[in-house]
């Protein structure tokens, strides 16, 4: 059992299936899990909750309550909400740089090919 308190918020990227997850530990001991996509089955949700509790990201006692009620898991509320997902500015700059470079390279190749075509036709 973990002796430390879980963090207030944790961002997590799940790869199989791909999903962005925000875990929020509330003051009353409840846990809110915000998933960007609705691609987790009940079985995967249970496994994910157990894993997060074992790793110390949510309170330990929640890993032993896999049963669901009408609102979700006991002590855990699972919602699909992608409003919190943000693209970092460094990633935006890098993507923009890659796109501009690809455009310049493609334009250069096109100009070279057009020049060769015109020279051969003439």
Q: Spell out the per-residue pLDDT of the chain, length 122, in tens.
A: 445 678 899 998 888 889 999 999 988 888 999 999 999 998 888 889 889 988 889 888 777 765 555 455 678 888 999 888 888 889 899 999 999 999 999 999 999 999 999 999 87
Tally of domains in the chain: 2
* Same domain membership, residue 58 and residue 15: yes
d(CA 38, CA 81) in angstroms, rounded, equals: 9
Closest CA to 17 of 46, 35, 40: 40
Instruction: Say yes or no: 103 and 45 in one domain.
Output: no
Strands, E, within the chain: which ranges?
A: 9-15, 18-25, 31-35, 68-69, 72-73, 76-80
Range of the domain at 115: 87-122
Same domain, 109 and 74: no
**75 and 91, same structural domain?**
no
Q: Are residues 98 and 73 in the same domain?
A: no
Structural domain includes residue 3: no
pTM (predicted TM-score): 0.64
């Amino acid at each position: 059992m973990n002796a430390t308190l879980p963090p207030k918020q944790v961002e997590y990227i799940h790869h199989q299936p791909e999903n962005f997850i925000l875990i929020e530990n509330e003051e009353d001991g409840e846990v809110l899990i915000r998933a960007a996509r609705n691609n987790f089955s009940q079985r995967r949700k249970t496994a994910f909750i157990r894993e997060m509790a074992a790793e110390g990201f949510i309170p330990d006692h929640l890993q032993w309550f896999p049963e669901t009620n009408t609102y979700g898991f006991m002590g855990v509320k699972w919602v699909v909400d992608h409003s919190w997902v943000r693209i970092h500015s460094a990633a935006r700059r890098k993507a923009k740089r890659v796109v501009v470079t690809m455009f310049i390279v493609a334009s250069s190749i096109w100009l070279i090919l057009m020049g060769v075509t015109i020279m051969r036709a003439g």
